[in-house]
Amino acid sequence: MWFGRVQPPTSITRRNLLLLGAGGAAVLAAPTLATSALATPALAATPVIRDPHGDREPSGTQVTEIDGTNVVFAYGVVMPSFEGWSRREPFRRYISLDRRWRFRYDPDNSGSDAGWQRADLDDSAWGTIDVPSSWDLKDNDGWGGYDGADFGKGGALKDGYAWFRTSVNIPASWRGKHIRLAFLAASYSADVWVDGQWVGKHEGGHTAFALPVTEAVRPGRSVTIAVRVYRRASFTNYDGTGERVSDDYALPPGVVDYWPYAGLIRSVWLEAVPLVTVTKLLLDARNGVLDARAVVENHSSEDFNGSVLLDPGRESRGTPVSVPVAVLAGGVAVASARLPIPRAPRWSVERPNVLTARAVLRGSNPPPELDTLGSTYGVRSIEVKGTQLLLDGEPVFLKGYNWHEESDLSGRSMTIEEYEHELGHAKSLGANFLRNCVYNRHPYVYDWADRHGVLLMDEWDTMWVGTISQKLQTETYGLSRALALATAWNNHNHPSVFLWGLQNESTIDAGSAPVYRAWLADMKDAVKSVDLSRRPVSWASYSSWDPAFDLADVVGFNEYFGYFYGKNEDLGPTLDAVHRNHPDKPIIITENGTWSYLGHHGSPTEGGTEEWQAANFTSHWEQVTARPFVAGYAFWLLKDYKQRAGYNQSLNGISTMGLLGWDSDTTRVVFDTFRAAEPPH
């Protein structure tokens, strides 16, 4: 009977599962799959370039209490709303930088010494690349499919630095405005120059950031933007013999089993706002009241006195309220009010009513309106009561799955049409829950989930973090806290965000529990400090005996009984043991699954068949749903996914654990089995 760690030995994990069968036995590739030699010219060894770090993570992210509200700052200013990727406010001006940029790899890190950041650099001989895109797919037409003949082609294994450059005309009308340069993501890290002036660096490959660039741009003239993006190598070479490459400062600090797409992978834009502006609107609606807080930032040299009209929106049937606001020159203030909305439609899984609130900034002199900022929200409450998760006071069971954000044509830079297709599977599968495993998703994902009534467990890049890195992050560097704050701040208003996930399968070495607990407590404190909804926190532990489960609001762990270790039927007794240890907490299975070769059929007891994968799921689902203290289950995972860690090149780096094949269309037997699975009533 197994009651201990529910993570297999480090030599047998999802990292090399394509090479293993049940019990760790070797498995040959299905005869219909093409194979290829491990070593090809595309996989030749290249020098490993290291990105230097300072004493602290580069954004300077921190929380400051202002007028009774905790406000998140980064790069010396309030972290702004990123609604500008899709919303256009009337008093603001926008220039999209989603276009073709000049592009060049920098394999020996000589670009900055050669002046590639200079405005007057002649870059006409450079190549080009679309922004957003993942450079992995550049010059690579063999990205998808299970034939590994093209593994490593083009930019797929280009690590280290690469440069992006574009020029843009700044309208003269932008004089007297505060200007920021916004990125939805740059993976893994990015240094940014405007007309040769370095304006900042961001670290963290999936988190939005905005750099203040007012002093660097010249309204009425053209400026050149240069971005140097860095990706750490996973191995010293990619022929299967290379050593792993790690960096204790980075998150994740080592090799992971998803593909680390590189480049300016999401949208980029310039935004000009009034010098006195509503930078952020925080909303929390429950129990018939909207708690609305407008963060007003004064970038001018004069004190400001005015008001903010907080409008809950026509569909809320509530009444706008005007709140006076005074902001010192260069300062920040928060205008807040609790607005009664007893007749507002509620947000639920069955009826996901999305409302729109607005903050309107008014001065004491004409013109009467100076700035506006809107945001969507939903009326709902989230609570943990005993072993139950409650949505608006009613128990909810989470039936869902993990998923990776990628496609054959676009890598991690998916189109809206691809998101619609990918996310639409949740409704056809009867799922009410998606785990945004191990990194932030594109803002469209959160908007989609709001509109469709799908609950999200939201996470950042804290996957497989070792003890040394945990200690470093907590005591000095602070990147894990910065990413936690950015996640909670940026995704605060989404009613679909139901849980914060602090980490995934990070190390708990013998004697390291105090370090591990301090690291988790630091991130928990971060999200709780800014979340008005007080969402519960959990994480995807590799152990059912995690020494920090008392810090969690919801106990969450990954388990692979019957595949990596033990037997399927060991899950039930393990769940019972966890419940005895934590009788007042809900439990969720954050990962469980097995693999199968697409189209390979046979006995439910034969490893690698679709029937075996489906039978394993059924066994785990029945044990989970038979226990009233288990509040949810997330299958690993929606579709097959790309990863560097396994190096089974006969499958082109694709891990085959999905309900669907890599194409996001071809179903396995387990797809229909999962769809038919009934949650407990």
Looking at the fold, whether 105 and 237 belong to one and the same domain comes out as: yes
Q: How many CA atoms lie within 13 A of 118 on its CB side?
A: 10
Residues 253 and 465: beta-carbon distance below 8 Å: yes
Question: What pLDDT, on the 0 to 100 scale, is given for residue 140?
Answer: 86
Question: What pLDDT, on the 0 to 100 scale, is given for residue 33?
Answer: 30
**Once rounded to an integer, what is the mean pLDDT over residues 563-580?**
97
Looking at the fold, whether 582 and 434 belong to one and the same domain comes out as: yes
Looking at the fold, whether 264 and 283 belong to one and the same domain comes out as: no
Listed range (17-31, 120-134, 428-442, 467-481) with the worst mean pLDDT: 17-31
Would you say residue 38 has pLDDT above 90?
Answer: no
What whole-number distance in Å separates Cα of residue 557 and Cα of residue 546? Answer: 9
Question: What pLDDT, on the 0 to 100 scale, is given for residue 44?
Answer: 52
Residue 374 is assigned to a structural domain of this protein: yes
**Once rounded to an integer, what is the mean pLDDT over residues 285-304?**
98
Return phi, psi of residue 526, to 5°: -60, -50
CATH number, domain of 621, equals 3.20.20.80
Question: What pLDDT, on the 0 to 100 scale, is given for residue 453?
Answer: 98
Would you say residue 3 has pLDDT above 80?
Answer: no
Local confidence band at 46 (pLDDT 50, 70, 90 cut-offs)? low
Look at residues 346, 363, 351, 413 and name the one whose alpha carbon lies nearest to residue 133: 413
Question: What pLDDT, on the 0 to 100 scale, is given for residue 25?
Answer: 27
**Domain count along the chain:** 3
Looking at the fold, whether 133 and 236 belong to one and the same domain comes out as: yes
Question: What pLDDT, on the 0 to 100 scale, is given for residue 277?
Answer: 98
Q: Residues of 192-208 as b/e, b for ≥16 C-beta within 10 angstroms?
A: bbbbeeebbbbbbbbbb
Q: Which helix (H) or strand (E) holds 178?
A: strand 177-183
Torsion of CA 624, 544, 570, 401, to 10 degrees: 40
What whole-number distance in Å separates Cα of residue 459 and Cα of residue 484? Answer: 8
Residue 29 is assigned to a structural domain of this protein: no
Amino acid at 381: S
Looking at the fold, whether 364 and 387 belong to one and the same domain comes out as: no
Residues whose CB is less than 8 angstroms from the CB of residue 15 and which lie 6 or more positions away in sequence, other chains included = 255, 257, 643, 645, 646
pLDDT digits (tens, 9 = 90+) for 437-480: 999 999 999 999 999 999 999 999 999 999 999 999 999 999 99
Would you say residue 321 has pLDDT above 90?
Answer: yes
Listed range (125-139, 362-376, 579-593) with the worst mean pLDDT: 362-376
Token duo for residue 89: 């406010």
Looking at the fold, whether 216 and 330 belong to one and the same domain comes out as: no
Local confidence band at 11 (pLDDT 50, 70, 90 cut-offs)? very low
**Once rounded to an integer, what is the mean pLDDT over residues 651-665?**
92
Q: What are the counts of helices (DSSP H) followed by strands (DSSP E) for the chain?
A: 8, 33
Local confidence band at 652 (pLDDT 50, 70, 90 cut-offs)? confident
Would you say residue 643 has pLDDT above 50?
Answer: yes
Looking at the fold, whether 368 and 393 belong to one and the same domain comes out as: no
Residue 44 is assigned to a structural domain of this protein: no
Where is the domain boundary, 349, 382, 415? 382
Question: What pLDDT, on the 0 to 100 scale, is given for residue 37?
Answer: 29
Would you say residue 350 has pLDDT above 90?
Answer: yes
Looking at the fold, whether 95 and 227 belong to one and the same domain comes out as: yes
Looking at the fold, whether 375 and 459 belong to one and the same domain comes out as: no
Residue 51 is assigned to a structural domain of this protein: no
Token duo for residue 599: 């189209």
Residue 546 is assigned to a structural domain of this protein: yes
Question: What pLDDT, on the 0 to 100 scale, is given for residue 145?
Answer: 79
416-428 and 443-452 are packed helices; what angle lies between their axes, rounded to 10 degrees? 40
**Once rounded to an integer, what is the mean pLDDT over residues 406-430?**
97
Could you identify the residue written with the tokens 């799921």? 617
Would you say residue 67 has pLDDT above 50?
Answer: yes
What's the Cα-to-Cα distance from 162 to each of 136, 268, 385, 406, rounded to whole Å? 12, 17, 50, 21
Question: What pLDDT, on the 0 to 100 scale, is given for residue 31?
Answer: 29
Residue 5 is assigned to a structural domain of this protein: no
**Once rounded to an integer, what is the mean pLDDT over residues 175-190?**
98
Would you say residue 147 has pLDDT above 90?
Answer: no
Q: Which helix (H) or strand (E) holds 210?
A: strand 209-212
* Cα angle 189, 129, 220; round to 5: 85
**Once rounded to an integer, what is the mean pLDDT over residues 383-389?**
98
More confident residue, 681 or 346: 346
What's the Cα-to-Cα distance from 225 to each of 31, 58, 165, 197, 677, rounded to whole Å? 51, 19, 6, 9, 52
Order of strands across the sheet that contains 69-74: 62-66, 69-74, 77-78
Q: What DSSP letter does each residue of 399-464 carry, written as one string?
A: EEEE----BTTTBTS--HHHHHHHHHHHHHTT--EEE-TTSPPPHHHHHHHHHHT-EEEEE-S-BS
Order of strands across the sheet that contains 222-231: 127-131, 99-106, 160-169, 222-231, 189-194, 197-203
Question: What pLDDT, on the 0 to 100 scale, is given for residue 7?
Answer: 32
Residue 53 is assigned to a structural domain of this protein: no
Question: What pLDDT, on the 0 to 100 scale, is given for residue 653?
Answer: 86
Token duo for residue 429: 């599968």
Where is the domain boundary, 382, 410, 436? 382
Question: What pLDDT, on the 0 to 100 scale, is given for residue 644?
Answer: 86
CATH number, domain of 155, equals 2.60.120.260
Looking at the fold, whether 520 and 604 belong to one and the same domain comes out as: yes
Looking at the fold, whether 337 and 478 belong to one and the same domain comes out as: no
Q: In percent, how much of the chain has pLDDT > 90?
A: 87
Q: Which range of residues forms the domain containing residue 152?
A: 62-272
Residue 19 is assigned to a structural domain of this protein: no
Where is the domain boundary, 347, 362, 382? 382
pLDDT digits (tens, 9 = 90+) for 203-214: 999 999 999 999
What whole-number distance in Å separates Cα of residue 359 and Cα of residue 313? Answer: 10
Looking at the fold, whether 156 and 233 belong to one and the same domain comes out as: yes
Q: What is the mean pLDDT of the chain?
A: 92
Local confidence band at 386 (pLDDT 50, 70, 90 cut-offs)? very high
